[in-house]
Structure 1
């Protein structure tokens, strides 16, 4: 649909803050009123709607924060246990645990960039994941997977929407949690998630399709990181 409203705003309502379009509370695709727990997130979402050009087609690319909030309300609330499980399962195959055997420069780069994140997960959450060389699958300790499951479960419904998206995009629940807990910013999370691809670009050059895909990954990570930051203390369940 095309832009149909003239003004956007925010007000405080039952359960949090609402985004207003021409004075009326906006609704999610499932027709629930979009209510978020912080004014900062509501204002950022309203700013997305305000930035849509007049008479332009409205699509998800214009509204990444609104989309994450609506997904949290419409889908995560009703399927919370499933979303937690689908996010935490990445602990069993986390990107950071699979290391190259050659060339030496890539091996060294993975060690320098990825190992500190695994060390952080071990220290912060008691989740000591095992690394492996090559493409062979490695079984992760049950205790480590359980600790990361607990860390995911601590997030509120809206935060889970972003954490799932971020984990899926990065291929790493450790990266997702590190962003949520401000251990990584969006740029560093992108660099960690795309390290192998960026290494190959440096060596062999790029192509338009790969570049377009990486730009989509960058935007997704940036949106999720910003969303989690705007949730402030409401990121975790009370």
Structure 2
């Protein structure tokens, strides 16, 4: 439960910072909240989210249903946390579920796994900037231990590069990681992809999902060069903090999503008495 509580706190922190800094983006007005209560309903072996008496639907109009009760509860909690307006951009777990159910790009699990392992060729932590000696030392100190962990954990030999035109990952290592990812279900590998697109790093996403580092740490490492630059040139506090908390909320949702999709489908109740 510790990892679940940590991830939920990151999501809540981001939402609070949106309010704290009065941050406004000029998008179409979000719809008003039209329901009072949220709940879940078991339908055969799946779980649906109910808004008052209405069944939640996906953007394509499909009935929203998932195989894991805890995941359904997390989605219902996101909808219940909406205030006067429904802000979809705050509901990362709902977004992930909708992507699985609608599959707008008609992707297969193999497509996603192939995307992930090929992303290693441009992984943030594998390309280090040796033209700035201080930044290079900073990257070595912060990134190299995570790369070392990744290699040991997955029995691969990833090597960092200082030349942007040299792919650092062998086909053998990609095949090894492909086999690992194929052991997850379709929903979980979508979660991995969402995390990788958030951090721009396969290595950091895996380290976070494997609980080697926290979402906060993963985001910090993904923004290492930016953190280095702000240390020299100053920090626009509200802008940098808001972006950081946004990334942490997205990544926390990924960790929960992969976790829920790798567990049994029902919440186990404690025996009373």
> TM-score, normalization: structure 1?
0.86
Tell me if the contact between 1:99 and 1:131 (Cα under 8 Å) persists in the aligned partners: yes
- Quote the RMSD (CA, aligned, Å): 2.5
- SS of the equivalent of 2:211 reads coil
Give 1:84 deviation, angstroms: 2.2
- SS of the equivalent of 2:261 reads helix
Task: Write out aligned runs for 1:1-238 (5 A).
Answer: 1-54=31-84, 56=85, 58-75=86-103, 78-80=106-108, 81-207=110-236, 212-233=242-263
Tell me if the contact between 1:77 and 1:157 (Cα under 8 Å) persists in the aligned partners: no
Higher relative contact order (CA 8 A, sep 6+): 2
Could you tell me which runs of 5 or more consecutive residues in structure 1 were left unpaired when the two chains were aligned: none
Tell me if the contact between 1:90 and 1:173 (Cα under 8 Å) persists in the aligned partners: yes
Task: Return the alpha-carbon distance in structure 2 between the equivalents of residues 157 and 234 of structure 1.
Answer: 15
Comparing 67-76 and 40-49, the one that deviates more: 67-76
Task: Return the alpha-carbon distance in structure 1 between the equivalents of residues 261 and 88 of structure 2.
Answer: 20
Give 1:136 deviation, angstroms: 4.1
Give 1:117 deviation, angstroms: 2.0
- SS of the equivalent of 1:11 reads strand
Give 1:142 deviation, angstroms: 1.1
> TM-score, normalization: structure 2?
0.76
Task: Give aligned pairs, total.
Answer: 233
List structure 1 runs of 4+ shifted beyond 3 angstroms: 102-105, 207-216, 229-232
Comparing 112-121 and 74-83, the one that deviates more: 74-83
- SS of the equivalent of 2:61 reads coil
CA pair 139-102 structure 1, distance change in 2 beyond 3 A:
closer
Give 1:210 deviation, angstroms: 5.5
Task: Return the alpha-carbon distance in structure 2 between the equivalents of residues 153 and 175 of structure 1.
Answer: 19
CA pair 151-231 structure 1, distance change in 2 beyond 3 A:
same
CA pair 76-157 structure 1, distance change in 2 beyond 3 A:
farther
Could you tell me which runs of 5 or more consecutive residues in structure 2 were left unpaired when the two chains were aligned: 1-30, 266-273
Which whole-Å deviations, capped at 9, do the CAs of 1:156-213 have from their partners, x for residues lacking one?
2222222111111211112222222222221111111111111111111134666554
CA pair 62-95 structure 1, distance change in 2 beyond 3 A:
closer
